[in-house]
Structure 1
Amino acid sequence: MRHRVGVGGHAEDAEERAGRVGGQASYLAELCEALRRDDDTGRIVAAGRALIGRGPGLTPSGDDVLCGALLARHATGRPVGALAAAVAGAEERTPLVSAALLRHAVRGECIPQVADAIRGLAAREPLPLAPLLAVGHHSGADLVRGIAAGLA
């Protein structure tokens, strides 16, 4: 079953509990800054492309971050075009399963744990982060980092 996101609140808690994106902190910082400024499409595309396929896992950390950012942008009604452009052609640089998840995120589709966390943000309720953080070895934490970036 696909879930759509549709959002703040407890960003400090999410940030604190999510941990670091394995060795990708500078790329994540660049993405956060580009999204925060939101005035340079080329910078957002470049920052997003730099994350594709980076980090450990079947769904690399950078890809999970990008999924989270895309989903947060959808949830807040902010433009996703530059991030969508950044992940276009991802299947050439990352595992196919991760590329598929990125395509779903471009459409605002996600796993239930992400949808629940974002609904918690929208309702200004405590974030149900434990189920999301339990996704994969690091994917849940990376998704939370991406959500925080997308809300920047």
Structure 2
Amino acid sequence: MIYAQASSLHAPYHLDNWRVAGVYTRAINLVGKSGNLLTLQRAGNGISPMSWVLRSHDFDSLRETLTSGCKVNVTPHYLELGKRKVYAPQRRYSLRLVSTASGGNTIPESYVKRGDETGLYGPLSSALSHPLHSELLKLMSLFRQTLRGRNVDWCSHLGKGPGLTPTHDDLLVGMLLAARLNGVLKDDRFFAASGSLRAATTMVSVAYLEYAARGIFASPLLHFAYALSKTERLPMAVEQLLSLGHTSGADTLLGFWLGLQAIRLL
């Protein structure tokens, strides 16, 4: 038996027809009948909006027994994957960002202009060099238009870059973090004029984007956002953010910086 340590308050209800959609070193993704995503996440990587967190040894032992496509048996109290029962967590945490009075309208350049690689634009220091890449300028322009209430279909701009969460998607999550933190995005209609996100990018990325549009973010992003007003916490928060994925952390940080620039021009 495995007892999940904690979960996101926003994770989908577990009574669904789940199947294993992907097995990775830090996450096991389950997809439901309606396309909902529930992630069993290895402890030590924070909490994602759609996740249950498992102890490291429990996660590792479960991971060894699973393959993509496995069916999941569901009961009111636990999920049964193979011969292992994963009990629903009792502790649930809100990952909704609360904008602060001081906001987060700046970040010291030394934390951004560094050598960490982004997915498409080289090291952060190069990506932030002027003039900015035309694709980044385009994203900033579209972001401003959306914040001003204009209809923007984001689908043709998503899914660009490597990984389960492509570069442009991570950029947009970072931009949404900046907008929510600074109180310039207060409703949940950011993608109202967009077509099907699921046709544009990966299901994992769609989940993060839809949560971000509602002001809900993975815990490392929240720690980073709140640390901007408490500079003694910022170095560690930036390092934790940059540790996400292969380039996801750097892409998200770049997106946050782009979002701040876009907001200043509103």
Contact 2:173 2:209 in 1 (8 A): yes
The SS at the match of 2:245 is: coil
Work out which structure has the larger RCO, using CA pairs closer than 8 Å and 6 or more positions apart in sequence.
1
Contact 2:156 2:200 in 1 (8 A): no
CA change 1:87–1:135 in 2 (3 A) is farther
Structure 1 segment 4-43 matched on structure 2, within 5 A: 4-5=96-97, 6=99, 7=103, 8-17=105-114, 19-23=117-121, 25-35=133-143, 41-42=150-151
Contact 1:15 1:145 in 2 (8 A): yes
Aligned-pair identity in percent equals: 31
Equivalent in the alignment of 1:69: 175
Normalising to structure 1: TM-score of the pair? 0.80
The SS at the match of 1:13 is: helix
- TM-aligned CA deviation for residue 14 of structure 1: 3.9
Contact 2:106 2:260 in 1 (8 A): no
Q: Aligned AA for 1:66?
A: L
The SS at the match of 1:4 is: coil
- TM-aligned CA deviation for residue 148 of structure 1: 1.1
Q: CA RMSD in A?
A: 2.7
Q: Unpaired segments of 5 or more residues in structure 2? A: 1-7, 9-93, 122-126, 128-132, 262-266
The farther-off stretch of 21-30 and 50-59 is 21-30
Contact 1:28 1:51 in 2 (8 A): no
CA change 1:22–1:87 in 2 (3 A) is farther
Give the Cα–Cα distance (whole angstroms) in 2 for the partners of residues 39 and 106 of structure 1. 15
Q: Is 2:164 the partner of 1:58?
A: yes
The number of residue pairs the alignment matches comes to: 148
Contact 1:14 1:144 in 2 (8 A): no
Contact 1:67 1:105 in 2 (8 A): yes
Q: Aligned AA for 2:217?
A: C
The farther-off stretch of 104-113 and 11-20 is 11-20
- TM-aligned CA deviation for residue 150 of structure 1: 1.6
